[in-house]
Homo-oligomer: A and B are copies of this chain.
Amino acid sequence: MSTGRVAFDSAGIAALPQRVRARMVNSLSGFKSANLVGTADASGRPACCMVSSVVHLGSDPALLGVVFRPPGDDAHNYRNLTESGAFTLSHVTLPFFEAAHQTSARYPEGVSEFEAVGLIPFWHSQDGNRFAAPAVKESPVRIGLKVADDLRLPNRCRFVIGAIQWVDFVAELQAEDGFLDLVAAETMAIGGLDAYHIAERVARLSYAKPDRPLVSRSDFLQGWD
């Protein structure tokens, strides 16, 4: 693309109408992951909310980060996870992305988003112990996390770091080399505030080294050494 470009400086961005600015700035990071956060309150009542801000932090130990908006009265998922120390993430996929988006509505205290939007809580158990937060039954990739840290960001958002306690996914999604096929999972990618996408894999590329050309593979199952 080499057609005309448009530029904004920080004053120009700040001067935009609030919703236009929100839609534009939310588009700038590129595609965002689509996950449902699952939590439960002290009575075990399930809650969930859509997040587009999950980021990989490390694989040994296995850590993910999630940005939450500044805690307010309606932030019951954030409150639940700080109280219970546990939350889940479930990939949002094509068959239920509209229900997942609808969880972002501000339901009254005491209304479970699961019930309101028609999703089913899944309670992971291990050695007879039920994990303290529900995941989403409909999702092909579900992750249970313990709150490992909770950082306050300069704009009052919270950056919650979760240590992965368990993961559970559809077996056939995994290649021999460990990779999960998110295309086959129908995992969605978010653009801006409200656009939902499916993906088409162009290639898997080999580990980059300075003195070696990249190798590109289209057969994901073959994997890498």
**B195 pairs with A30, CB closer than 8 A:** no
> Which residue of chain B is the closest to A2 with respect to CB atoms?
B170
Give the docked Cα–Cα distance between A210 and B107 (Å). 6
Give the docked Cα–Cα distance between A9 and B183 (Å). 24
Instruction: Mark A158-198 against chain B: 1 for CB-CB distance below 8 A, else 0.
Output: 01010111111111101101111111011111011111111
Contacts of A103 in B (CB 8 A): 208
Residue in A106, A166, A199 whose Cβ sees the most chain B Cβ within 10 Å: A199
**B105 pairs with A210, CB closer than 8 A:** yes
**B199 pairs with A189, CB closer than 8 A:** yes
**A153 pairs with B57, CB closer than 8 A:** yes
Q: How many chain copies does the complex carry?
A: 2
Q: Given A24-B174, A180-B192, A192-B180, are A169 and B6 also a contact pair (CB < 8 Å)?
A: yes
- Min CB distance A213 to B, Å, is 9
> Which residue of chain B is the closest to A190 with respect to CB atoms?
B31
Contacts of A98 in B (CB 8 A): 203, 205, 214, 216
Instruction: Mark A22-45 against chain B: 1 for CB-CB distance below 8 A, else 0.
Output: 111111111111110000000000
Contacts of A6 in B (CB 8 A): 168-171, 174
- Min CB distance A192 to B, Å, is 5
Instruction: Mark A119-134 against chain B: 1 for CB-CB distance below 8 A, else 0.
Output: 0000010100000000
Contacts of A86 in B (CB 8 A): none
- Min CB distance A96 to B, Å, is 12
> Which residue of chain B is the closest to A99 with respect to CB atoms?
B214
Contacts of A27 in B (CB 8 A): 178-180, 182
Q: Given A5-B169, A149-B154, A165-B9, are A28 and B180 also a contact pair (CB < 8 Å)?
A: yes
A residues at B contact (CB < 8 Å): 1, 3-10, 13-14, 16, 18-35, 52-65, 67, 89, 91-92, 94, 97-98, 101-108, 111, 116, 124, 126, 140-141, 143, 148-149, 151, 153-155, 157, 159, 161, 163-172, 174-175, 177-183, 185-189, 191-210, 214, 216, 220, 223-224
